[in-house]
Amino acid sequence: MATYKKKGYKKEKKTGNDLEYLSKESTTAEVFTSLDEGASKLEKFLEKNQKWIFTGLAAIIVLVAGYMWYDKNVKQPNEQQAINDLVTAQKYFDEGLNATQDSIMNINFDKALNGTDGKYGFLKVNEKFSNTKAGNLSNYYIGMIFYKKGDFKNAVSYLSKFDGDDDILQPTAYGVIGDAFVELNQPADALSYYEKAAKASDNEYTSPIYYFKAGKLALDQGDKAKAKKYFELIKDKYPKSKEAKDIDIYIAQAE
């Protein structure tokens, strides 16, 4: 059969824009096809594993509900009881610190540690309510008491467990650990904790105290370069502190 071309007919030429449009159309189609396939696979996966999925969700719900029950019925009441006992123990701790005789100091510290008048002392609060804020705080007080009593190993043990965000207590805890290591003749450990104490809360009060202790210890150990570094830190960063008053004398000793 003969073929012919219709008069005036021109083969339509694809322009760049047309090709770009077709490319986009093709890509869109591929995306929807991919999404359809993905949705189908997801449906099959959910259908196949719905037992385990629902079991997992149920477990999460049980855990959340259990935590809420524990927080309301166990943790909060424990926290309140621990705080009540801590108040009495802290009273005897303060009286021990202010005592003018060692015998009176030790009597009050023993009451603070072991409890009295039907109230728990720091040791029992620490044992029974270790997961509370009061339990954590008891580590600080127990460590301080042991240090004052000359039991430096126990002081280090308890103070190391204390985890606080207070600008004074946490640096003080690190600092007393440093003091305890000095007493235990472990100068390298002491120096490390003096540095931690100085950096724990960068302020005009605690930081220069512990940089000064670190400098003095380094000087005693014959490490003049390290001692000079600590003393110059005090001079440059904390010029208004008590430790900065005669700091040039110590810097000269470290030359």
For residue 14, is pLDDT > 90? no
**Residue 199 — very low, low, confident or very high, per pLDDT cuts 50/70/90?**
very high
* Other beta carbons less than 10 A from residue 106's beta carbon: 15
- Say if CB 134 and CB 82 are below 8 A apart: yes
**Residue whose token pair is 């040039």:** 248
The fraction of the chain above a pLDDT of 70, given in percent, is 68
pLDDT tens-digit map of 211-236: 999 999 999 999 999 999 999 999 99
**Residue whose token pair is 């009441």:** 77
Integer CA distances (angstroms), 237 to 131, 198, 229, 243, in order: 38, 12, 12, 11
Q: CA gyration radius for the chain?
A: 36
Q: Which of 146, 156, 76 is nearest to 113 (CA)?
A: 146
Of the two residues 235 and 132, the one the predictor is more confident about is: 235
For residue 6, is pLDDT > 50? no
pTM over 0.85: no
Of the two residues 228 and 85, the one the predictor is more confident about is: 228
Q: What are phi and psi of 165, to 5 degrees?
A: -110, 15
- Distance from the Cα of residue 27 to its chain's centroid: 51
pLDDT at position 157 is 97
Handedness of CA 170, 173, 179, 180 (dihedral sign): negative
